Structure 1
Amino acid sequence: MKTNVGSIDRLIRLLLALVLFYLGLFLYSGSTLGIGLVVAGGVLLVTALIGFCGLYRLLGIHTNQISEQL
């Protein structure tokens, strides 16, 4: 699995995950919306940590700066 998420994209995903966790756990806790926000934050957190996004792969998007040579 090659990384396809760049460092700026990873930072944005991490910050957005923290915001979604806060909203889901504190402001909308116990509701369906809160659970959805926590799940979305979890997905963003995982993709930020591992540097791979499956949706980016399907769409052919690469935000990392490393040029891939085959």
Structure 2
Amino acid sequence: MTRNMGKTDRALRVIVAVVLLVLAIAGIIPAGLLKILAVIVALVFIVTSLIGTCPLYTIVGIRTCPRS
């Protein structure tokens, strides 16, 4: 897969993921479906940031990575 996420986009995703995980672990996000969704979103953000490719961006045609 080709990268379609720039450094800023990847960094913001990691920050949002960490915040969501901290809120879920600290109990600020109540237990239940909302907590599960927050953890899933955080994990997806971390994985997509690590690989530099967002499948949704590919479908929509968005590219935040500078073309080489």
Q: Tell me if both proteins adopt one fold, taking TM over 0.5 as the criterion.
A: yes
Distance in 2 between residues matched to 1:9 and 1:61, nearest whole Å? 12
Which has the higher relative contact order, 1 or 2, with Cα contacts under 8 A spaced 6 or more apart? Answer: 2
Q: Deviations over 1:2-46 (max 9, x none)?
A: 010000000000000001111222222532211110111001111
The separation in 1 between residues aligned to 2:52 and 2:65, in whole angstroms, is 9
Task: Please give the per-residue CA displacement for 1:35-63, whole angstroms capped at 9, x wherever unaligned.
Answer: 11011100111111110000000011110
Pairs within 5 Å for 1:1-12? 1-12=1-12
Map residues 1-70 of structure 1 onto 2, 5 A cutoff: 1-26=1-26, 27-28=28-29, 30-67=31-68
Amino acid at match of 2:45: L
Sequence identity (%): 39
Please list every run of at least 4 consecutive aligned residues from structure 1 whose deviation after the TM superposition is greater than 4 angstroms: none
So what's the TM-score if we normalise by structure 1? 0.86
Q: Output the amino acid matched with 1:3.
A: R
Q: What is the alpha-carbon root mean square deviation over aligned residues?
A: 1.2
Gaps of 5+ in 2: none
Q: Which runs of 5+ in 1 are unaligned?
A: none
